[in-house]
């Protein structure tokens, strides 16, 4: 069957489950054929080998059932990196790049950086790449996530980074001090109806959900971080679009200063920061 025919058929099937059906189909077929999507505009009448067509059919069926493209392909672009992804971690999203931008804006001179709940390692790796003189550490409670993050460091040839298993700060030395601590923790309320929609249906609930209207882990980290921040160190979170005011209050209640909220690319509150002065 020709490329154009396969893509058109897939688009029709995916239209009811994806707002980007055409792009989804192109990404899946490009992976199968090991070509760029530009190839399809140049060679729409090329015949697809039967084995490749069968693999494409498997991919389309999985996407039809709602499985995220990133999990099907096993990778996701983030910042300037290409990361391996797996169902044990969240899929890195463009909104999280805003946290990286804010960190680079406010703490570009940081030499010791900690990423809590690192998952794929996306935030930690982006910062390590941009700040090659910094020593970056990422921690995650899930051993599988730590192993995945280590593979992503190797894949992207980033060496100024270390990943360890830890339940937030629990496995860190009490003498550890960081000039910058970042986190994209669970921040969705357990009863939020969005948990039953879209890609998040396939992502690990432990990385998504927190008690106290999604604020429990953020509150815990804010309280514990004071023991691990260097003087004038920054603590920064990604959070839900409607949580900015609540997160600022949690920061201020613990004596942080320079508390500010930054908007994402859709003009929603997305990143809140605070500086702890000793």
pLDDT tens by residue, 8-51: 999 999 999 999 999 999 999 999 999 999 999 999 999 999 99
Mean per-residue pLDDT of the chain: 95
Q: Please tell me whether residues 16 and 153 are part of one structural domain.
A: no
Q: Please tell me whether residues 129 and 248 are part of one structural domain.
A: yes
Q: Could you tell me the CATH number of the domain that includes residue 268?
A: 3.40.50.150
Is 78 among the domain residues?
A: no
pLDDT surpasses 90 at 169: yes
pLDDT at 171: 94
| Domain range enclosing 39 | 3-66
Is 249 among the domain residues?
A: yes
Q: Whole-prediction pTM value?
A: 0.92
Residues 63, 57: Cα–Cα separation, whole Å: 10
pLDDT surpasses 70 at 278: no
Total count of domains within the chain: 2
pLDDT at 78: 97
Residues 148, 144: Cα–Cα separation, whole Å: 6
Residues 182, 180: Cα–Cα separation, whole Å: 7
Q: Please tell me whether residues 107 and 222 are part of one structural domain.
A: yes
Per mean pLDDT, which range of 122-136, 189-203, 235-249, 263-277 is the poorest?
A: 189-203
Q: Please tell me whether residues 120 and 52 are part of one structural domain.
A: no
Residues 112, 169: Cα–Cα separation, whole Å: 15
Residues 270, 187: Cα–Cα separation, whole Å: 11
Q: Please tell me whether residues 56 and 103 are part of one structural domain.
A: no
Q: Could you tell me the CATH number of the domain that includes residue 53?
A: 1.10.8
pLDDT at 49: 95
Is 236 among the domain residues?
A: yes
Annotated binding site for substrate: 184-187
Per-residue pLDDT band for 191 (boundaries 50, 70, 90) equals confident
Q: Please tell me whether residues 270 and 132 are part of one structural domain.
A: yes
Q: Please tell me whether residues 268 and 199 are part of one structural domain.
A: yes
- Sign of the dihedral defined by the CA atoms of residues 176, 134, 152, 25, in that order: positive
Q: State residue 207 phi and psi, 5-degree precision.
A: -95, 0
pLDDT surpasses 80 at 199: no
pLDDT tens by residue, 89-124: 999 999 999 999 999 999 999 999 999 999 999 999
Is 74 among the domain residues?
A: no
Q: Please tell me whether residues 56 and 167 are part of one structural domain.
A: no
pLDDT tens by residue, 225-248: 999 999 999 999 999 999 999 999
pLDDT tens by residue, 148-164: 999 999 999 999 999 99
Annotated binding site for S-adenosyl-L-methionine: 117-121, 140, 168, 184
pLDDT at 236: 98
pLDDT at 277: 78
């Amino acid at each position: 069957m020709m490329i154009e025919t396969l893509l058109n058929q897939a688009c029709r099937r995916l239209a009811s489950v994806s707002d980007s059906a055409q792009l989804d189909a192109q990404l899946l077929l490009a992976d199968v054929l090991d070509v760029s999507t530009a190839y399809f505009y140049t060679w729409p009448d090329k015949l697809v080998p039967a084995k490749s067509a069968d693999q494409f059919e498997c991919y389309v069926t999985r996407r039809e059932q709602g499985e995220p493209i990133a999990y099907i392909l096993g990778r996701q672009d983030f910042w300037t990196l290409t990361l391996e992804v797996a169902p044990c971690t969240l899929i890195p999203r463009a909104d999280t790049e805003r946290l990286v931008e804010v960190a680079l804006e406010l703490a570009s001179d940081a030499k010791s950086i900690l990423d809590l709940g690192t998952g794929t390692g996306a935030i930690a790796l982006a910062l390590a790449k941009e700040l090659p003189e910094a020593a970056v550490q990422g921690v995650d409670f899930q051993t599988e996530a730590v192993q995945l993050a280590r593979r992503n460091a190797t894949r992207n040839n980033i060496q100024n980074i270390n990943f360890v298993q830890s339940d937030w700060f629990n496995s860190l030395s009490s003498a550890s001090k960081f000039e910058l601590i970042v986190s994209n923790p669970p921040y969705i309320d357990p009863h939020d109806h969005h948990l039953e929609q879209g890609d998040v249906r396939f992502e690990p609930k432990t990385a998504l959900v927190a008690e106290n209207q999604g604020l429990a882990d953020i509150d815990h980290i804010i309280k514990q971080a004071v023991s691990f921040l260097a003087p004038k160190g920054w603590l920064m979170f990604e959070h839900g679009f409607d949580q900015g005011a609540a997160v600022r209050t949690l920061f201020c209640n613990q004596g942080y200063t320079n508390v500010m909220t930054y908007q994402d690319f859709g003009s929603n509150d997305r990143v809140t920061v605070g500086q702890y002065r000793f």
